[in-house]
Copies of this chain bind each other. A is one copy, B any other.
Amino acid sequence: MLPETAGYRLDDQIGYVLRKVTQRHLSIFSENIPEVTTTQFAVLARLAELGPQSQNLLGRATAMDGATIKGVVDRLARLGLVETAPDAQDRRRLSVCLSAAGLALFQSRVGDAQGISDKTVAPLSAAERVQLLALLNKLT
């Protein structure tokens, strides 16, 4: 009387489906914006939106922990898309801001980024897209 695999169906588990949808999204993104990754673009978008931020605050604003945001900022700096400088007011902080190249890249690519989101949800109707985002937002 083994439970066997019981009623557990991997394909119905939210985590597994999330992983597959994310994979497809990342694939669409890298095809359309090969210069940077999704997380790097998120950082550029936040900097364009909020202006210069400390590395830690920037991480919080983009849902990355300290170790992760450091790696992303380092790579963006190596690409010349952001610039870092010590904060004069608080010597613990590392201020991060968009470079001219970073701003230019973001502005030239933001339309493509919106297109990527659209492509990702292309199989859904307009109403379904709204539903999906609303449901996902409840799980944040």
Contacts and interface: CB of A to CB of B under 8 A. Distances in A.
Nearest to A21: B139
A72 interface: no
Contacts of A133: 12, 14, 17
Contacts of A85: none
Interface residues on A, range: 35 or more
Nearest to A16: B42
Q: Which of A38, A121, A132 counts the most B-chain CB atoms under 10 A from its CB?
A: A132
Nearest to A111: B6
A55 B93 CA distance: 46
Interface in A18-36: 18-26, 29
Interface string A96-118: 00000000000100110110110
Given A17-B133, A124-B139, 18 more contacts: A3-B110, A5-B48, A6-B111, A7-B114, A8-B114, A14-B121, A15-B38, A16-B38, A17-B136, A17-B137, A18-B18, A18-B25, A20-B140, A21-B136, A24-B139, A124-B135, A131-B131, A135-B135
